Structures are given as C-alpha cells and as structure tokens.
Amino acid sequence: MRPDLNEVLRRRAAGTGNMVLVLHEVSHALDRLARTGETHVIDLSSLPMTPVELQQLIASLGEGEVRAVIEAEGRSEVTETGFSGVWLVTHRDTDDMLRGRYIEITPLPEILRSQDADIRAAAARLARKLDQISDLEEAS
Amino acid sequence: MIRRQQTLGERLEERGISRRSFLKFCTTTASLLALPPAFAPRIAEALESQRRPSVIWLSFQECTGCSESILRAGSPSIESLIFEAISLDYHETLQAAAGHQAEAAREQAMAENMGKYLVVVDGSVPLGNPGFSTVAGQSNVETLKRVAKGAAAVICMGTCSAFGGIPYAKPNPTGAVPVSEIITDKPIVNVPGCPPIPAVMTSVIAHYITFGSLPELDDLGRPKVFYGQNIHDRCYRRPFYERGQFAQSFDDEGAKAGWCLYKLGCKGPTTYNACAVLKWNEGTSFPIEAGHGCLGCSEPNFWDKGSFYAPLSTATELGSGTVAAGVLAGAVLGAGAGYAGRKMQEKGKAGPFEAPPVADAGQKENS
Amino acid sequence: MTLLDFARGPALQGAAFIFVVGMVWRALGLLLLHRNTPLSRNRDNHLARHGFRTVLSRFIPAPVFERRVSFQYVAGWIWHLGFFVVLLFFKIHVMFFQGLLGFGWPTLPNGVVVAVAGITLGVLLWLLGRRIVNPVLRYISTFNDYSSLVVTMLPFITGFLAFAHYGFAYETMLALHILSISLLLVWFPFSKLIHVITLLPSRYILGVKFWRRGVQA
Ligand code: SF4
Ligand code: SF4
C-alpha cells in the first residue's frame, strides 16, 4: 500500500510543520551542549520543508557574530546564528550548486577549524619556503 | 597509480585537495545515503584508515558514457574524491598502461587482493559469438568470469551491465546479457541509468568502504536509497498531472507553462530513480525540468517499451493490422456461421411441421 | 516482461483481436440468416419511418409502465452516458485513442470526469445490489447478467485506483486497468454486451413487424 499522494501533495503545499520540530530539536541539543558539551548536527536536506518554511526557520534563528566563507572544492558558508552555539553550515560545489545544508550545535563547526593534516602539511610547506628564501639570500 | 603506501591525507595534499574538502565530501555523502550527519566522521575514518580497496573496472559492450558520467574528466567535483579513497587498478580508458602491461597490472591486483577487490562493470556481455567483443584476445564472458571469481562484490554501473541496456534491445544481434545472468555466486549491486547519476555510484562505493557491506537493495538489485522512489512521485510537475494539464507538444503554451509531460511520453510514473531529487550536472536540473519526459532509463528493457514519445497509457502492439486481421477472421467465421444458420433454418422448414418463426436478433433488449 | 509491458502489448492486442473477430462474426452471422416472410397483410404505408419511430420511442419508458420501469430507465441512461463520457472524454483515454487512430478530440477537465466516473460506478453498484436483493430480478438473473455487470465495473474500479495512486504502485494499477479492459473486450461479443450492435436493429425489426399488423408500437 502506498500513501495517498494527492493527500501528500496537498499537505506539502500547505506546509510540512517541520520547522517547529527542527527548532525543538535545536533547543534540546543546545541544552545538552550547555550541560554536557555534547555536539549535534541536523541535516536539513533530510527533512522535507517548503522553501517558505526554510526561510522562516533561518529567520527565526537570526544572525550572530560570526560569518565565514570557506573555499574548499566549492564555497561553503558557516554562520553563527543569533543563538551562540547554533551554526548554519551550507556546502556548495565548484559550480556553486547547493550540496547540503546543516544546523550544527557546537562551539565551533569542525569544518571551520584548521585540520591537523592540513596543519602538518602547511608546516612542511612553510619550512620548504623558508629554505628557499634563505637559499636565495645566500646566493645574492 | 600503484603507490599504495601513501596515506589518504598525503594523496589529497599531493593533489592540492584540502582536508576540509574531504570533510565536506564525507558530510554530503552521508546526506546522500540518508545517513545521519553523525556518520560523516565515521565515513572519513573508514576512507582513511583502511587500505584503499582495489577496484577493477571492466568495460564490455558499452559507449563509455557511464565512465564519462562518473569521472566527468572535464570538471573535477567533490564526487571525484572517491578516487582518492580507492585504488583503481584497471580501467581500459583511463589507465596509462597499455597492452600486456595493463593486463599484467590487473592480474597483479587480482592476485594481491584475492577475495577482496571490487569489480565494476559497464557494458553488457555478448554471448552470441565470443568474437563480438574481446580485450587482449579474451572474450568478455571469459574476462568477467575470471575477474569476478576473486571479487568481494560486483557493481554493475549503468543499465547495460545491470539489465542489458541498448545492446540487449531487440533484436539483440550480439546475444547480449546483463552481468547477473553470468555471475550468480557474488553479491551484485545494480546502479542502472543511461548513464547513472555520478553521486549514486560514489555513494555506493563509500558505503561499501565504510560499512564493509553493500547498501540495502530492491528486487532489481538497486540500492533502495536511490531507486526507492519513482520520478513521478517526486516530480515538481505532478500538480499539473493531477489537474489533467498536459503539454500537447514540446512548444505549445502548456509546455511553456511547465505542464505535465505525460502526453509527450514521460515514463516518470513507472521509473524508479533519484533524478528528481539529486538532479543532474551538479544539481542543475533533470530531464523533466529541461522540458523532456523521462525515458525510463533505469528500468529493464526501457529501450523496447514502445516509443519514447507515446504516453504510457497507449497500446504498444495494437494497430490497424490487428484490427484488419480481426475483421477478416470475423468475416470468415461470420459467413460460416450464417451459412450454417441458414442450413438449419432450411432443414427446419423442410420438416414435417411448420417451422417456428426465427427471430432475427433474439437478444432481449437491455437496460 | 513486466505486467505493464504485457498489458500494453500482447494482452491489449489479443483482446482487441478477439473483440473484432467476435463482433464481425456475430454481426455477420445474424445478418446472413433467412428472414421469415410475413404472412399478414400490410396495414401500414410508412413502414420504414414507423420502424425508426419505434427505435426512438423505446428510449423512454412507455407511459403505461412509467411508474414501474422509470428507475430502470433513468439508471440505465445515467450509467451508459457516464460510461461514454469517461471512455471518450478523459484526457488520458483520448491519448490512447490518438495513439491508435492518429487523431484526438477535445476533452473534459479531470474533475468533471472523475465525478461522472464516480456516479457511474455508484449506479452500477446500485444496480448490482438491486439485482441481488430484488426477488424477481434475482429469479430471472443468470451468470450472463452478473458477469457482464462485474466485467463492466472492473475498468472503473481499477481506473479510479490508478488515477488516485491508491493500492498498488502506479505501474501495477495501470496494468490491471488495461487488463480489465482487455477482459471487457474479450467478454463483449460473447455475452449480453453484444446488445450494442443488436439493440437498434432489433427494435427496428420489431417496430416494422408491429406496424405492419397495425399495432402502433
Ligand atoms: S512530467 Fe512525468 S514525472 Fe512529472 S508529473 Fe508528469 S508524468 Fe509525472
Ligand atoms: S529522468 Fe528518467 S530517463 Fe532521464 S535520466 Fe532520469 S531516469 Fe533516466
């Protein structure tokens, strides 16, 4: 048996009601973060919402103090919402197409941190660069 | 290609791909597989920690469209990151090696990874004559059987290897069959589509590496996450379908207004694929959004289901020929019946009694 | 071959073939029979015209029986008309005919067709119930009556389910719908449904016979 799709479509047009559910989930997760430090991620693409609802959700979270853009195989945006600890993360690919939208409840979204592997690589690169510079200096 | 000792991180760095990009890949892959975001680190860990699984890619009767779709050599995308996580040891179109060298590389990869490597197949296998398609003097059937023997699983990429595809279409001149008709003792995942959506393939491989198992499959061997819903159910033109607003031609007012394409042959209602959700060309759009009906390319025998432009509700074989033959046969039978009837009437009349009147059309009138 | 492939292909083709064969066969067979020569003197000068009058006059109940048969007439009219409206003026059906004949015609909005189909199915169900409940009707009903009613109703039921995406998946419902139509086509020439071709001619013949004898039928 399949669901009655006409009904599904009608309901979808009327809104899914998921926006409030998401806000509840955020609120619980934020509470846990405050008490135990446990982080949480919500995948917005896994929850059906009308574009209007999504806008309302983002609007009700508001804007916070941080707004960062990451260029990694396409642009990603990380913004802190009006509620500290609640972040909105948007991933796009090289063609600027939306690939995922997440609400992260964390002190700092993982993608924002410099990654250990990148740090190690960077250290090596910088050392090489210094070597080159000192080589050049010696030569002159 | 063979420097296996490198870590994933080093390889990424060598390619100028940051760790952040990799994180992004893992996160979006989890979304694609409908896994909770918490799985992203697990995917990352699995892709990194394990030895890169060896993948042997076999191309049989195919057009290379599937490879093109998946590799999209022209525009590197997040999906192509999967190729950092696997060791693609044999791919006729991509590998640098040629001739005996290439075959030797494959044999070596097979020997080293016995029972653990993945086999990806694009193209169907001709059984009509082994000479129809050979590589290095080996027919496709032989190659498939040999290589699949030591495989952990076989992934059929594209409709040709999954269901036979275009080579399999009537009259099937090469006697082509899908992989599943030859290999019966290995787990097989079908990733049909002509071609399949790139992200679907990478996600299936990522799933395999992360969990060491294949995703849940439907009765046609397709991963349910991607082939569980049909195009029609997720189509944004669906409200027009419900209201009976159909474009009559590709350039009429209805087409311009974005009405449903059922009448123009859309096979969306009977096609299970993720196009309407994942879309094509990095999520730009999908065929119905571009104004053309779905061809049903991820379904078996899509090529033989009547015209791409005939509505699903039309007959595929019924035509004037059938009707004419029916009229003819009916006329012969009718003449015979009429003759026999007359004979009976005459016999009745010739009898000793007056014949009872024969009604011409003895049916009782119907309400 | 999936169920839908079978339904759209061989099933429909075979059923249409049997339908055409059966219709031509039975029509021709009846046409070729000897007519019995009337023995009475002709008491009417406009036989043909009066024959047609009988054909038409029987579309409405005869005044004497009006009270007893009106329901039967009205119900019959409604569902026959509904049947044709749904068959010929539903968009997706016209697409089918267009695929077959090469031309189409204007259609009615889906909402209207769905309403008509609902009423038609309702009337058919009512008639079936009446046939079972009414003692006289039940007494004179045969397998031919029940089966023809059910076979006529099936396309409506499956069609509704396919349209509403209810029950099985669309491809299965559509296949069942086409198969139910195939069944109707096969059943048609060999059951009382053949009245479609015999009804008007037999009324005419009956009319002529009556008028000849001076009965104003
Ligand atoms: S365009 Fe195709 S998939 Fe979309 S609603 Fe119409 S028939 Fe269904
Ligand atoms: S819309 Fe249909 S035909 Fe086109 S790619 Fe998707 S499944 Fe294949």
Using alpha carbons only, give the angle B172, B178, B182 rounded to the nearest 5 degrees: 115
Single residue among B194, B227, B260 that ends a domain in this structure: B227
Q: Which residues of B touch A121 (CB under 8 A)?
A: 9, 13
- The answer to whether residues B195 and B235 belong to one domain is no
- The answer to whether residues B175 and B165 belong to one domain is yes
The 3-state DSSP class for residue A96 equals coil
- The answer to whether residues A101 and A120 belong to one domain is no
C-alpha C89/C-alpha C74 separation (Å) is: 22
- The answer to whether residues A99 and A118 belong to one domain is no
Q: Are strands B134-135 and B138-139 parallel, antiparallel or unpaired?
A: antiparallel
Whether B104 maps to a domain, the answer reads yes
Given this model, what pLDDT does residue C205 score?
Answer: 87
What is the CB neighbour count within 10 angstroms for residue B38?
A: 12
The alpha carbons of chain A give a radius of gyration, in whole angstroms, of: 21
Q: Which residue of chain B is at minimal alpha-carbon distance from A89?
A: B24
- The answer to whether residues B163 and B262 belong to one domain is no
Mean pLDDT of C136-151: 91
Whether B8 maps to a domain, the answer reads no
Q: Which residues of A touch B12 (CB under 8 A)?
A: 117
Specify the CATH number of the domain C3-33+63-212. 1.20.950.20
- The answer to whether residues B240 and B266 belong to one domain is yes
Number of structural domains (chain A) is 2
Q: In the predicted model, is pLDDT for residue A24 greater than 50?
A: yes
Number of structural domains (chain B) is 2
Amino acid at B319: G
Identify whether B37 is preceded by a cis peptide bond (ω within 30 of 0).
no
C-alpha B13/C-alpha B33 separation (Å) is: 26
Nearest to B201 by CA among B193, B212, B210, B191: B191
B78 shares contact with chain A (CB less than 8 Å): yes
Of A135-139, B348-352, C74-78, the least confident: B348-352
Nearest to A108 by CA among A71, A74, A64, A75: A64
C42 shares contact with chain B (CB less than 8 Å): no
- The answer to whether residues B159 and B239 belong to one domain is no
C-alpha A140/C-alpha B289 separation (Å) is: 63
B326 shares contact with chain C (CB less than 8 Å): yes
Looking up residue A64, the CATH number of its domain turns out to be 3.30.1370.140
- Using CA positions, which residue lies closest to atom 2 of ligand 2? B294
CA of B201 relative to ligand 2 center, distance in Å: 15
Instruction: Give the start-to-end residue ranges of the domains of chain C.
Output: 3-33+63-212
Given this model, what pLDDT does residue B366 score?
Answer: 43
Given this model, what pLDDT does residue A84 score?
Answer: 93
> Which atom of ligand 1 is found nearest the CA of B276?
3
Confidence at B172, pLDDT banded by 50, 70, 90: very high
- The answer to whether residues A99 and A128 belong to one domain is no
Q: Is B100 annotated for ligand binding? A: no
Q: What is the ipTM of this complex?
A: 0.75
- The answer to whether residues A74 and A135 belong to one domain is no
- The answer to whether residues A125 and A97 belong to one domain is no
- The answer to whether residues B205 and B61 belong to one domain is yes
- The answer to whether residues A21 and A55 belong to one domain is yes
Q: Which ligand is nearest to the CA of B232?
A: 1
Q: In the predicted model, is pLDDT for residue B5 greater than 80?
A: no
- The answer to whether residues A95 and A118 belong to one domain is no
Whether B282 maps to a domain, the answer reads yes
pTM of the model: 0.72
- The answer to whether residues B220 and B234 belong to one domain is no
Chain segment B174-197, per-residue pLDDT in tens: 999 999 999 999 999 999 999 998
* Cβ atoms of B86 and B70 closer than 8 Å: no
B246 shares contact with chain C (CB less than 8 Å): yes
Q: In terms of residue numbers, what domain contains A20?
A: 5-108
Looking up residue B70, the CATH number of its domain turns out to be 3.40.50.700
- The answer to whether residues B151 and B237 belong to one domain is no
Tokens of B22: 């990799």
> Which atom of ligand 2 is found nearest the CA of B271?
7
Given this model, what pLDDT does residue B3 score?
Answer: 46
Given this model, what pLDDT does residue B9 score?
Answer: 67
Given this model, what pLDDT does residue B2 score?
Answer: 46
Confidence at A8, pLDDT banded by 50, 70, 90: low
A1 shares contact with chain C (CB less than 8 Å): yes
- The answer to whether residues B199 and B302 belong to one domain is no
Confidence at B94, pLDDT banded by 50, 70, 90: confident
- The answer to whether residues B80 and B200 belong to one domain is yes
Single residue among B195, B227, B259 that ends a domain in this structure: B227
Q: In the predicted model, is pLDDT for residue C176 greater than 90?
A: yes
- The answer to whether residues B179 and B234 belong to one domain is no
Which among B18, B76, B284 is the nearest to A72, CB-wise? B18
What is the CB neighbour count within 10 angstroms for residue B60?
A: 23
Mean pLDDT of C65-82: 89
Tokens of B128: 């009509």
Confidence at A6, pLDDT banded by 50, 70, 90: low
- Using CA positions, which residue lies closest to atom 1 of ligand 2? B294
- The answer to whether residues A59 and A118 belong to one domain is no
* Cβ atoms of A107 and A30 closer than 8 Å: no
Q: In terms of residue numbers, what domain contains B267?
A: 229-317
Q: Which ligand is nearest to the CA of B294?
A: 2
Given this model, what pLDDT does residue B367 score?
Answer: 40
Whether B19 maps to a domain, the answer reads no
Q: Across-strand partners of B238?
A: none
The preferred substitution site among B241, B243, B285, B308 for testing ligand 1, maximizing ligand atoms within 8 Å of CB, is B241
- The answer to whether residues A90 and A130 belong to one domain is no
Q: Which residues of B touch C29 (CB under 8 A)?
A: 333-334, 337-338, 341
- The answer to whether residues A69 and A131 belong to one domain is no
Chain segment A28-48, per-residue pLDDT in tens: 999 999 999 999 999 887 776
User: What share of chain C in percent tops pLDDT 70?
Assistant: 100
* Cβ atoms of B39 and B212 closer than 8 Å: no
B219: left (phi over 0), alpha (psi -120 to 50) or beta: alpha
A10 vs B364, more confident: A10
- The answer to whether residues A99 and A127 belong to one domain is no
Nearest to C82 by CA among C57, C118, C29: C118
Q: Residues lining ligand 1, CB < 6 A?
A: B 231-232, 235, 237-238, 241, 260-262, 266, 268-269, 288, 293-294
B131 shares contact with chain C (CB less than 8 Å): no
Q: In the predicted model, is pLDDT for residue B73 greater than 60?
A: no
C-alpha C15/C-alpha B326 separation (Å) is: 10
Looking up residue B238, the CATH number of its domain turns out to be 4.10.480.10
- The answer to whether residues B198 and B77 belong to one domain is yes
